Structure 1
Amino acid sequence: MVRASGAALCVRKPFRRASAPAARRSGHRVREGSCAWTSTSCYDPNGLLEQALPLDREPYLSLVKAVLAWSGPEPVLQPRDYEQIALQLTGHARAVAGDVRCRCATLPRDSEMRALTEVVLGEAERRLSARPQATVVCVQHLARLVRALYEHLDHLKAAERSAPATTAP
Protein backbone atom coordinates (compact mmCIF):
# COMPACT_ATOMS: atom_id res chain seq x y z
CA MET A 1 0.00 0.00 0.00
CA VAL A 2 1.35 3.44 -0.95
CA ARG A 3 0.14 6.77 0.41
CA ALA A 4 1.40 10.11 -0.80
CA SER A 5 0.96 13.47 0.87
CA GLY A 6 2.56 16.32 -1.09
CA ALA A 7 6.19 15.28 -1.50
CA ALA A 8 6.01 12.66 1.28
CA LEU A 9 5.60 9.01 0.39
CA CYS A 10 4.77 6.16 2.77
CA VAL A 11 5.05 2.55 1.68
CA ARG A 12 3.70 -0.35 3.71
CA LYS A 13 5.13 -3.70 2.76
CA PRO A 14 5.02 -7.20 4.23
CA PHE A 15 8.02 -8.76 5.87
CA ARG A 16 9.10 -12.18 4.70
CA ARG A 17 6.56 -14.37 6.39
CA ALA A 18 7.63 -17.39 8.37
CA SER A 19 5.17 -20.12 9.15
CA ALA A 20 3.38 -19.70 12.45
CA PRO A 21 4.63 -23.03 13.91
CA ALA A 22 8.24 -22.18 12.96
CA ALA A 23 7.93 -18.74 14.52
CA ARG A 24 6.52 -20.23 17.72
CA ARG A 25 9.38 -22.75 17.88
CA SER A 26 11.89 -19.92 17.64
CA GLY A 27 10.23 -18.15 20.59
CA HIS A 28 8.30 -15.43 18.72
CA ARG A 29 4.71 -14.64 19.53
CA VAL A 30 2.46 -14.99 16.52
CA ARG A 31 -0.82 -13.24 15.85
CA GLU A 32 -2.21 -13.54 12.38
CA GLY A 33 -3.09 -10.19 10.88
CA SER A 34 -1.06 -8.23 13.40
CA CYS A 35 1.34 -5.48 12.46
CA ALA A 36 4.29 -7.74 13.34
CA TRP A 37 4.25 -8.91 9.74
CA THR A 38 4.47 -5.50 8.07
CA SER A 39 6.73 -2.48 8.01
CA THR A 40 6.18 1.11 7.01
CA SER A 41 8.86 3.18 5.32
CA CYS A 42 8.43 6.89 4.87
CA TYR A 43 10.33 9.09 2.44
CA ASP A 44 9.84 12.66 3.60
CA PRO A 45 12.85 14.81 2.60
CA ASN A 46 11.01 18.10 3.16
CA GLY A 47 9.63 17.19 6.62
CA LEU A 48 6.00 17.57 5.54
CA LEU A 49 4.75 14.81 7.83
CA GLU A 50 6.42 16.42 10.86
CA GLN A 51 4.87 19.80 10.10
CA ALA A 52 1.36 18.40 9.76
CA LEU A 53 1.34 16.77 13.20
CA PRO A 54 1.33 18.94 16.34
CA LEU A 55 3.60 17.84 19.17
CA ASP A 56 1.90 16.22 22.15
CA ARG A 57 3.68 18.39 24.67
CA GLU A 58 2.03 17.81 28.06
CA PRO A 59 2.68 14.06 28.53
CA TYR A 60 6.34 14.50 27.69
CA LEU A 61 6.78 17.50 29.95
CA SER A 62 5.18 15.47 32.74
CA LEU A 63 7.64 12.66 32.04
CA VAL A 64 10.52 15.16 32.04
CA LYS A 65 9.37 16.56 35.37
CA ALA A 66 9.10 13.07 36.89
CA VAL A 67 12.52 12.00 35.59
CA LEU A 68 14.23 15.14 36.88
CA ALA A 69 12.61 14.63 40.29
CA TRP A 70 14.58 11.39 40.79
CA SER A 71 17.37 11.97 43.27
CA GLY A 72 20.59 9.99 43.51
CA PRO A 73 22.16 7.62 41.00
CA GLU A 74 20.71 4.46 42.56
CA PRO A 75 18.35 2.56 40.29
CA VAL A 76 14.67 3.19 40.97
CA LEU A 77 13.45 1.15 38.00
CA GLN A 78 14.58 -1.87 36.03
CA PRO A 79 17.17 -1.21 33.27
CA ARG A 80 14.62 -2.06 30.57
CA ASP A 81 12.34 0.67 31.96
CA TYR A 82 15.17 3.22 31.75
CA GLU A 83 15.84 2.06 28.21
CA GLN A 84 12.18 2.52 27.24
CA ILE A 85 12.07 6.01 28.79
CA ALA A 86 15.32 6.93 27.04
CA LEU A 87 13.89 5.80 23.69
CA GLN A 88 10.70 7.80 24.28
CA LEU A 89 12.62 10.94 25.20
CA THR A 90 15.07 10.50 22.30
CA GLY A 91 12.26 10.18 19.78
CA HIS A 92 10.43 13.18 21.16
CA ALA A 93 13.61 15.25 21.33
CA ARG A 94 14.15 14.52 17.62
CA ALA A 95 10.59 15.65 16.86
CA VAL A 96 10.96 18.88 18.84
CA ALA A 97 14.37 19.50 17.23
CA GLY A 98 12.69 19.07 13.83
CA ASP A 99 10.11 21.69 14.74
CA VAL A 100 12.85 24.04 15.98
CA ARG A 101 14.78 23.44 12.74
CA CYS A 102 11.72 24.35 10.62
CA ARG A 103 11.21 27.58 12.55
CA CYS A 104 14.93 28.35 12.33
CA ALA A 105 14.76 28.15 8.54
CA THR A 106 12.32 31.06 8.50
CA LEU A 107 14.63 33.38 10.45
CA PRO A 108 16.86 35.88 8.62
CA ARG A 109 20.41 34.60 8.02
CA ASP A 110 22.02 37.43 9.98
CA SER A 111 19.78 37.30 13.06
CA GLU A 112 21.20 36.50 16.48
CA MET A 113 18.24 34.22 17.20
CA ARG A 114 19.13 32.08 14.16
CA ALA A 115 22.77 31.78 15.27
CA LEU A 116 21.69 30.74 18.76
CA THR A 117 19.16 28.29 17.34
CA GLU A 118 21.80 26.67 15.15
CA VAL A 119 24.06 26.24 18.20
CA VAL A 120 21.20 24.66 20.17
CA LEU A 121 20.38 22.34 17.26
CA GLY A 122 24.03 21.36 16.87
CA GLU A 123 24.24 20.45 20.55
CA ALA A 124 20.96 18.50 20.32
CA GLU A 125 22.23 16.57 17.29
CA ARG A 126 25.47 15.77 19.10
CA ARG A 127 23.61 14.46 22.14
CA LEU A 128 21.05 12.53 20.09
CA SER A 129 23.71 10.88 17.92
CA ALA A 130 24.95 8.86 20.91
CA ARG A 131 23.15 5.63 21.71
CA PRO A 132 20.98 6.10 24.81
CA GLN A 133 21.99 4.06 27.83
CA ALA A 134 19.68 2.45 30.36
CA THR A 135 20.85 4.59 33.28
CA VAL A 136 19.35 7.29 35.47
CA VAL A 137 22.01 9.80 34.38
CA CYS A 138 21.38 9.25 30.66
CA VAL A 139 17.60 9.50 31.03
CA GLN A 140 17.97 12.72 33.05
CA HIS A 141 20.28 14.21 30.40
CA LEU A 142 17.68 13.43 27.74
CA ALA A 143 14.95 14.97 29.90
CA ARG A 144 17.01 18.16 30.23
CA LEU A 145 17.50 18.19 26.46
CA VAL A 146 13.75 17.90 25.80
CA ARG A 147 13.09 20.70 28.30
CA ALA A 148 15.74 22.94 26.70
CA LEU A 149 14.39 22.30 23.19
CA TYR A 150 10.87 23.21 24.30
CA GLU A 151 12.15 26.38 25.98
CA HIS A 152 13.93 27.37 22.78
CA LEU A 153 10.85 26.53 20.72
CA ASP A 154 8.83 28.84 22.97
CA HIS A 155 11.38 31.63 22.43
CA LEU A 156 11.11 31.15 18.67
CA LYS A 157 7.31 31.25 18.79
CA ALA A 158 7.40 34.44 20.89
CA ALA A 159 9.87 36.00 18.42
CA GLU A 160 7.55 35.10 15.51
CA ARG A 161 4.58 36.73 17.24
CA SER A 162 6.48 39.91 18.07
CA ALA A 163 8.26 40.23 14.68
CA PRO A 164 5.22 41.46 12.69
CA ALA A 165 4.42 44.04 15.39
CA THR A 166 7.91 45.58 15.17
CA THR A 167 8.01 45.68 11.36
CA ALA A 168 4.58 47.26 10.88
CA PRO A 169 4.53 51.11 10.54
Structure 2
Amino acid sequence: MSGTHVVLYDPCGLIEAELPLNRAPHEALVTAILAWKDPDLAPRDYEQIALQLTGHARAVAADVRRHAAALPKADGRGALAVVVLREADGRLSAPLQGAARCVQNRARLVQALYTRLDRLTEPASATA
Protein backbone atom coordinates (compact mmCIF):
# COMPACT_ATOMS: atom_id res chain seq x y z
CA MET A 1 0.00 0.00 0.00
CA SER A 2 1.40 3.38 -0.96
CA GLY A 3 0.03 5.29 2.01
CA THR A 4 -1.87 7.73 -0.16
CA HIS A 5 -5.55 8.41 0.02
CA VAL A 6 -8.17 10.25 -1.96
CA VAL A 7 -10.12 13.04 -0.31
CA LEU A 8 -13.71 13.30 -1.40
CA TYR A 9 -14.81 16.88 -2.00
CA ASP A 10 -18.59 17.14 -1.95
CA PRO A 11 -19.52 20.56 -0.52
CA CYS A 12 -23.12 20.36 -1.80
CA GLY A 13 -23.75 16.93 -0.30
CA LEU A 14 -24.71 15.46 -3.67
CA ILE A 15 -23.34 12.01 -2.92
CA GLU A 16 -25.23 11.86 0.35
CA ALA A 17 -28.38 13.09 -1.42
CA GLU A 18 -28.24 10.06 -3.71
CA LEU A 19 -28.33 7.62 -0.79
CA PRO A 20 -31.88 6.92 0.34
CA LEU A 21 -32.62 6.81 4.05
CA ASN A 22 -33.29 3.36 5.44
CA ARG A 23 -36.48 4.61 7.04
CA ALA A 24 -38.58 1.55 7.92
CA PRO A 25 -36.22 -0.11 10.43
CA HIS A 26 -35.52 3.20 12.15
CA GLU A 27 -39.21 4.02 12.42
CA ALA A 28 -39.81 0.57 13.91
CA LEU A 29 -36.98 1.18 16.40
CA VAL A 30 -38.44 4.59 17.31
CA THR A 31 -41.90 3.07 17.83
CA ALA A 32 -40.48 0.33 20.06
CA ILE A 33 -38.41 2.76 22.11
CA LEU A 34 -41.28 5.17 22.65
CA ALA A 35 -43.41 2.25 23.89
CA TRP A 36 -40.89 1.38 26.63
CA LYS A 37 -42.39 1.41 30.12
CA ASP A 38 -39.51 0.31 32.32
CA PRO A 39 -36.66 -1.14 30.24
CA ASP A 40 -33.79 -2.77 32.06
CA LEU A 41 -30.83 -2.56 29.71
CA ALA A 42 -27.16 -2.11 30.50
CA PRO A 43 -25.90 1.48 30.12
CA ARG A 44 -23.72 0.45 27.16
CA ASP A 45 -26.82 -0.93 25.38
CA TYR A 46 -28.61 2.39 25.81
CA GLU A 47 -25.50 4.17 24.51
CA GLN A 48 -25.36 1.97 21.41
CA ILE A 49 -29.03 2.56 20.64
CA ALA A 50 -28.57 6.30 21.19
CA LEU A 51 -25.57 6.30 18.84
CA GLN A 52 -27.62 4.54 16.16
CA LEU A 53 -30.44 7.06 16.53
CA THR A 54 -28.01 9.99 16.58
CA GLY A 55 -26.42 8.93 13.30
CA HIS A 56 -29.79 8.47 11.69
CA ALA A 57 -31.09 11.78 13.05
CA ARG A 58 -28.10 13.53 11.47
CA ALA A 59 -28.87 11.88 8.11
CA VAL A 60 -32.55 12.85 8.28
CA ALA A 61 -31.60 16.41 9.33
CA ALA A 62 -29.32 16.65 6.27
CA ASP A 63 -32.26 15.60 4.09
CA VAL A 64 -34.52 18.17 5.77
CA ARG A 65 -31.85 20.83 5.18
CA ARG A 66 -31.55 19.92 1.50
CA HIS A 67 -35.30 19.97 0.90
CA ALA A 68 -35.80 23.22 2.83
CA ALA A 69 -33.02 24.93 0.87
CA ALA A 70 -34.73 23.99 -2.41
CA LEU A 71 -38.02 25.69 -1.44
CA PRO A 72 -38.91 29.20 -2.58
CA LYS A 73 -38.20 31.83 0.10
CA ALA A 74 -41.92 32.59 0.44
CA ASP A 75 -42.74 28.98 1.34
CA GLY A 76 -43.39 28.85 5.10
CA ARG A 77 -42.38 25.20 5.28
CA GLY A 78 -38.75 26.28 4.97
CA ALA A 79 -39.01 28.60 7.97
CA LEU A 80 -40.53 25.82 10.07
CA ALA A 81 -37.75 23.49 8.94
CA VAL A 82 -35.17 26.00 10.17
CA VAL A 83 -36.77 25.97 13.62
CA VAL A 84 -36.83 22.16 13.74
CA LEU A 85 -33.22 21.97 12.53
CA ARG A 86 -32.05 24.48 15.13
CA GLU A 87 -33.70 22.39 17.84
CA ALA A 88 -32.21 19.21 16.37
CA ASP A 89 -28.72 20.71 16.29
CA GLY A 90 -29.02 21.64 19.96
CA ARG A 91 -30.30 18.23 20.98
CA LEU A 92 -27.70 16.37 18.91
CA SER A 93 -24.89 18.37 20.49
CA ALA A 94 -25.91 17.20 23.99
CA PRO A 95 -23.74 14.38 25.30
CA LEU A 96 -25.17 10.88 25.25
CA GLN A 97 -26.08 9.24 28.51
CA GLY A 98 -26.52 5.55 29.12
CA ALA A 99 -30.16 5.89 30.12
CA ALA A 100 -33.59 5.13 28.67
CA ARG A 101 -34.58 8.81 28.85
CA CYS A 102 -31.69 9.80 26.57
CA VAL A 103 -32.60 7.10 24.04
CA GLN A 104 -36.27 8.11 24.09
CA ASN A 105 -35.31 11.75 23.52
CA ARG A 106 -33.26 10.73 20.47
CA ALA A 107 -36.20 8.65 19.24
CA ARG A 108 -38.52 11.66 19.57
CA LEU A 109 -36.01 13.73 17.62
CA VAL A 110 -35.92 11.22 14.76
CA GLN A 111 -39.72 11.20 14.75
CA ALA A 112 -39.87 15.03 14.62
CA LEU A 113 -37.33 15.17 11.80
CA TYR A 114 -39.29 12.64 9.74
CA THR A 115 -42.49 14.61 10.33
CA ARG A 116 -40.78 17.75 9.05
CA LEU A 117 -39.25 15.87 6.09
CA ASP A 118 -42.68 14.53 5.13
CA ARG A 119 -44.13 18.04 5.18
CA LEU A 120 -41.30 19.33 3.02
CA THR A 121 -41.72 16.58 0.43
CA GLU A 122 -45.50 16.76 0.05
CA PRO A 123 -46.93 19.11 -2.56
CA ALA A 124 -47.36 22.71 -1.34
CA SER A 125 -51.12 22.59 -1.97
CA ALA A 126 -51.43 19.67 0.47
CA THR A 127 -49.97 21.77 3.31
CA ALA A 128 -52.29 24.72 2.86
**Alignment pair present for 1:64 and 2:40:** no
For residues 90 and 123 of structure 2, what CA distance do their matches in structure 1 show? 26
Higher strand share: 1
Aligned to 2:47: 83
> TM-score w.r.t. structure 1 length?
0.67
Among 77, 84, 103, the residue aligned to 1:139: 103
Structure 1 counterpart of 2:11, from 29, 45, 49:
45
Task: Return the offset for 1:86.
Answer: 0.3
Pair 1:115-2:53 in alignment:
no
Equivalent AA in structure 1 for residue 78 of structure 2: R
Residue 29 of structure 2 aligns to a residue whose secondary structure is helix
Deviation string 1:19-72 (CA, Å, 9 cap, x unpaired) is xxxxxxxxxxxxxxxxxxxxxxxx432212210100000110111011111114
Aligned residues: percent identity?
A: 59
Aligned to 2:117: 153
Residues 6-25 of structure 1 mapped to structure 2, 5 A cutoff: 9=8
Q: How many pairs align?
A: 123
Q: Is the 8 A contact 2:77 2:119 kept in 1?
A: no
Q: Which has the higher contact order (CA 8 A, sep 6+)?
A: 2
**One of 105, 121, 139 as aligned partner of 2:69:** 105
> Structure 2: which 5+ runs fail to align?
none
User: Once superposed, which parts of structure 1, at least 4 consecutive aligned residues long, lie more than 6 Å away?
Assistant: none
- TM-superposed deviation, 1:3: 5.3
How far, CA to CA, are the matches of 1:138 and 1:70 in structure 2? 12
Unpaired segments ≥5 residues, structure 1: 10-42, 164-169
Alpha-carbon distance in structure 2 between the residues aligned to 1:126 and 1:134: 19
Q: Distance in 2 between matches of 1:134 and 1:45?
A: 34
> Which structure is higher in helix share?
2
